[in-house]
């Protein structure tokens, strides 16, 4: 691997010169422009939609509503449900239309799509549409949504409870609390967040009537997710959804899934027989991008008389928003439970997570996708316990850590920590921070009229694992122009895949990095695999690139053996050349 660190990133020159192409930079011949009219209230029945004034405006091509989508027979946006509730049932997944049908359930929900000859005209026409609403009671807080008598977000989901999930060992936790010398309790809140990537969402939808293929130009963390989630909406095979993307200006989890707008633009393109382009505004992204967190967690910790943790219990109430986003239920259940004991030596752990519908923007993955919520709940509870028993927060953590001699250490939820030195890491961190010298620094600050505080937390994450695809595929191809093309399903949105994967392959094949190109979102690419997310691209895709490159070398060895008329065992490979050992006979 001699190619690492010897030059700048392959992406940089293109990006610094402004030559990168984002979703809004794409244009297709004959395209029209879309603008979404969105709900301005959290919950209401749609009595009527009058688009006559908009349609009368010169240059307005069409106005699509939920009724048009229903007549066309398009289906609900899908939601993954790899988990079961405490009753053995699946998560409730009410119909999630690309344009609101019958009711609106959150501020920002798309109600109509106006298509016109210019973006400005489409926006003007949207303002001419008259919608009559019959307002209904709304609920925005997850705990309030689960309370008796709360407004119902979906008539098909009584009590607004989408899923009641549990993990860990409830009996062991109960037994630990029964013998505890002290029980510590704390309720805290993990606020709702919006990812807000630098690039607002944008897309172009096109439909090829001859082939039946949909073409979607969009910003995405991986074409396979968008393709696989969009296909069932239109009742077609995933191969019929061709997703194209180049540069993506940030993802953070919010570019993982398909969106109502993507589907609506494709539906409009099919109906009108011409491409339709939509570029969202920053304001729209705060209203319509998937958000995250918004979770109340009540934690309990059982301690013995020496401050050792005997058991922990957590009750999470998670705000799903108005609909189940594709990854919404997953991140609020499985990812909450995966590392529910953190870095601490405790086997008696039980986690309950109740997922509630509310009249808010749907929530899904964002930076850590549930795991930071779990760690936050644990660490807040740990601090509270240390405070209540009068022990130093760092010392309380130290005496409860998994010890180095205990590895490999299997946690109650099934994961295994194969190695680690948690106590050693903590000791180094405390030394670097001069933890013991804090009181002197605090006193000095107080003398200047300044308040000084400190905090400490641990974090461990199950990352780099598989995703929703059954497996990952990658390709290493030699092209006729002597260049190497790499194909993968993970898509860069700032990670530098183009450089890193080229470094890996160049180090094996012995070819210049500049001759290697990466393709992750071509319209004809139908590889199976997972998008970028969960810190998995280098581990999963990078490993596949390494293995594929080695296989290329082995296949080339057979050809070189024939060309050089020598046994394969007598041929070595280095710097892109096959050479008969001990001679100057070689072939590239």
**Please, what is the average pLDDT of the chain?**
92
The DSSP annotation for 363-408 comes to B---TTTTHHHHHHHHHHHHHHHHHHHT--HHHHHHHHBPPGGG-S
pLDDT tens string 519-538: 887 767 777 777 777 788 88
Domain edge (last residue) among 288, 305, 340: 288
pLDDT at site 475 = 84
CA–centroid distance for 237 within its chain:
23
395 shares its domain with 508? no
Query: Above 70 in pLDDT, residue 20?
Result: yes
Query: Above 90 in pLDDT, residue 471?
Result: no
Give the pLDDT band (50/70/90) at residue 272.
very high
| CB-based contacts of 461, cutoff 8 Å, min separation 6 | 339, 368, 371, 375, 535
186 shares its domain with 323? yes
Give the three-class secondary structure for 48.
strand
- On whether residue 462 sits in a domain, the answer given is no
Query: Above 60 in pLDDT, residue 464?
Result: yes
Spatial separation of the C-alpha atoms in residues 511 and 517, rounded to whole Å: 12
Query: Above 90 in pLDDT, residue 238?
Result: yes
442 shares its domain with 484? no
- On whether residue 94 sits in a domain, the answer given is yes
Among 373, 201, 204, smallest CA distance to 290 is for 201
Spatial separation of the C-alpha atoms in residues 388 and 403, rounded to whole Å: 24
Among 388, 372, 188, smallest CA distance to 298 is for 188
DSSP H or E run through 234:
helix 223-234
Give the three-class secondary structure for 216.
strand
Dihedral over Cα of 469, 471, 476, 480: its sign: negative
| Distance, first Cα to last Cα, the chain | 19
Dihedral over Cα of 70, 276, 200, 502: its sign: positive
Contact 128, 54 (CB under 8 A): yes
281 shares its domain with 295? no
CATH number of the domain bearing residue 526: 3.30.365.10
pLDDT at site 4 = 53
Spatial separation of the C-alpha atoms in residues 220 and 227, rounded to whole Å: 10
Query: Above 60 in pLDDT, residue 3?
Result: no
Contact 336, 156 (CB under 8 A): no
- On whether residue 49 sits in a domain, the answer given is yes
pLDDT at site 526 = 75
Spatial separation of the C-alpha atoms in residues 77 and 57, rounded to whole Å: 32
Number of H helices, E strands in the chain: 17, 23
Greater pLDDT, 15 or 149 = 149
Percentages (nearest 5) of helix, strand, coil residues in the chain: 30, 25, 45
Q: Residue with structure tokens 């890193």?
A: 500
Among 277, 243, 273, smallest CA distance to 261 is for 277
151 shares its domain with 131? no
* Dihedral angle of Cα 17, 491, 267, 66, to the nearest 10 degrees: -110
167 shares its domain with 235? no
224 shares its domain with 152? no
350 shares its domain with 296? yes
Q: Is the peptide bond before 408 cis (omega within 30 degrees of 0)?
A: yes
- On whether residue 538 sits in a domain, the answer given is yes
Spatial separation of the C-alpha atoms in residues 376 and 299, rounded to whole Å: 11
The CA-based angle 476-480-481, given to 5 degrees, is: 100
For the chain, what percent of residues have pLDDT higher than 70? 97
119 shares its domain with 182? no
How far are the Cα atoms of 139, 147, 168, 513, 553 from residue 478, in angstroms, in the given order? 57, 61, 49, 14, 12
Spatial separation of the C-alpha atoms in residues 36 and 77, rounded to whole Å: 18
pTM of the predicted model, to two decimals?
0.92
Q: What residue spans of 235-297 are helical by DSSP H?
A: 260-272, 282-288
Q: What is the mean pLDDT of residues 501-521?
A: 88
- On whether residue 453 sits in a domain, the answer given is no
Domain that holds residue 394: 143-195+290-447
pLDDT tens string 425-444: 999 999 999 999 999 999 99
Among 131-145, 215-229, 233-247, 487-501, the range of highest mean pLDDT:
131-145
* Dihedral angle of Cα 427, 430, 432, 435, to the nearest 10 degrees: -150
Pick from 479-483, 545-549, 554-558: least confident: 479-483
Q: How many CB atoms lie within 10 A of CB 198?
A: 10
| CB-based contacts of 432, cutoff 8 Å, min separation 6 | none
- On whether residue 268 sits in a domain, the answer given is yes
Give, as one character, the DSSP assignment of residue 15: H
Domain edge (last residue) among 263, 288, 313: 288
Burial class (CB in 10 A: 0-12, 13-18, 19+), 158: exposed
211 shares its domain with 148? no
Q: What is the mean pLDDT of residues 305-327?
A: 97
Q: At what angle do helices 371-389 and 393-400 cross, to 10 degrees?
A: 110
Q: Which residues face 192 on adjacent strands?
A: 293
- On whether residue 457 sits in a domain, the answer given is no
96 shares its domain with 231? yes
**In the structure encoding, which two tokens stand for residue 186, read together?**
């704390």
Q: At what angle do helices 223-234 and 260-272 cross, to 10 degrees?
A: 60
Tally of domains in the chain? 3
- On whether residue 562 sits in a domain, the answer given is yes
517 shares its domain with 392? no
**In the structure encoding, which two tokens stand for residue 27, read together?**
């244009």
pLDDT tens string 382-424: 999 999 999 999 999 999 999 999 999 999 877 889 999 999 9
CATH number of the domain bearing residue 72: 3.90.1170.50
pLDDT tens string 105-141: 999 999 999 999 999 999 999 999 999 999 999 999 9
């Amino acid at each position: 691997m001699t190619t690492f660190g010897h030059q700048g990133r392959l992406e940089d020159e293109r990006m610094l010169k402004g030559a990168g192409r984002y979703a809004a930079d794409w244009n297709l011949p004959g395209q029209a422009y879309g603008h979404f009219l969105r709900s301005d209230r959290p919950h209401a029945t749609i009595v009527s939609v009058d688009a006559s004034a908009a349609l009368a405006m010169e240059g307005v091509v069409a106005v699509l509503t939920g009724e048009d989508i229903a007549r066309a027979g398009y289906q609900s946006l899908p939601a993954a449900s790899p988990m079961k509730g405490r009753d053995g049932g699946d998560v409730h997944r009410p119909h999630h239309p690309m344009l609101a049908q019958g009711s609106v359930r959150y501020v920002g929900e798309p109600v109509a799509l106006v298509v016109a000859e210019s973006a400005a005209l489409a926006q003007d026409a949207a303002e001419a549409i008259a919608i009559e609403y019959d307002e209904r009671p709304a609920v925005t807080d997850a705990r309030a949504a689960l309370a008796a008598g709360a407004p119902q977000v979906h008539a098909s989901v009584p009590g607004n409870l989408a899923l009641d999930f549990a993990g860990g060992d409830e009996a062991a936790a109960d037994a630990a609390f029964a013998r505890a010398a002290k029980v510590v309790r704390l309720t805290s809140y993990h606020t709702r967040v919006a990812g807000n990537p630098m690039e607002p969402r944008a897309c172009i939808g096109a439909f090829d009537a001859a082939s039946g293929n949909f073409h979607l130009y969009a910003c995405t963390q991986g074409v396979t997710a968008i393709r696989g989630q969009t296909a069932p909406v239109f009742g077609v095979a995933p191969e019929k959804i061709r997703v194209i993307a180049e540069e993506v200006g940030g993802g953070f989890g919010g570019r993982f899934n398909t969106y109502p707008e993507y589907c609506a633009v494709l539906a409009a393109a099919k109906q009108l027989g011409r491409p339709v382009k939509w570029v969202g505004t920053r304001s729209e992204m705060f209203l319509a991008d998937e958000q995250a967190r918004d979770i109340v967690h009540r934690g309990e910790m059982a301690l013995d008389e020496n401050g050792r943790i005997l058991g922990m219990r957590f009750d999470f109430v998670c705000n799903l928003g108005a609909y189940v986003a594709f990854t919404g239920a997953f991140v609020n259940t499985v990812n909450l439970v995966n590392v529910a004991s953190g870095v601490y030596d405790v086997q008696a752990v039980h986690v309950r997570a109740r997922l509630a519908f509310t009249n808010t923007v749907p929530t899904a993955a964002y930076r850590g996708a549930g795991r930071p919520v779990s760690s936050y709940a644990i660490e807040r509870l740990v601090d509270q316990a240390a405070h209540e028993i009068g022990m130093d927060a760092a010392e309380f953590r130290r005496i409860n850590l998994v010890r180095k001699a205990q590895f490999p250490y299997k946690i109650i939820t099934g994961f295994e920590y194969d190695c680690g030195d948690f106590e050693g890491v903590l000791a180094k961190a405390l030394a670097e921070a001069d933890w013991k010298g804090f009181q002197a620094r605090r006193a000095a600050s107080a003398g200047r009229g300044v308040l000084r505080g400190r905090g400490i937390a641990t974090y461990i994450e199950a990352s780099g694992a598989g995703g929703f695809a059954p497996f990952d595929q990658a390709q290493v191809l030699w092209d006729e122009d002597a260049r190497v093309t790499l194909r993968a399903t993970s898509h860069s949105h700032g990670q530098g895949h183009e450089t890193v994967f080229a470094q890996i392959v160049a180090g094996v094949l012995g070819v210049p990095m500049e001759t290697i190109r990466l393709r992750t979102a071509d319209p004809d690419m139908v590889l199976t695999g997972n998008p970028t997310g969960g810190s998995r691209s280098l581990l999963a895709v990078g490993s596949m690139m390494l293995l594929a490159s080695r296989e290329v070398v082995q296949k080339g060895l057979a050809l070189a053996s024939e060309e050089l008329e020598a046994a394969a065992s007598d041929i070595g490979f280095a710097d892109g050349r096959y050479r008969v050992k001990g001679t100057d006979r070689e072939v590239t």
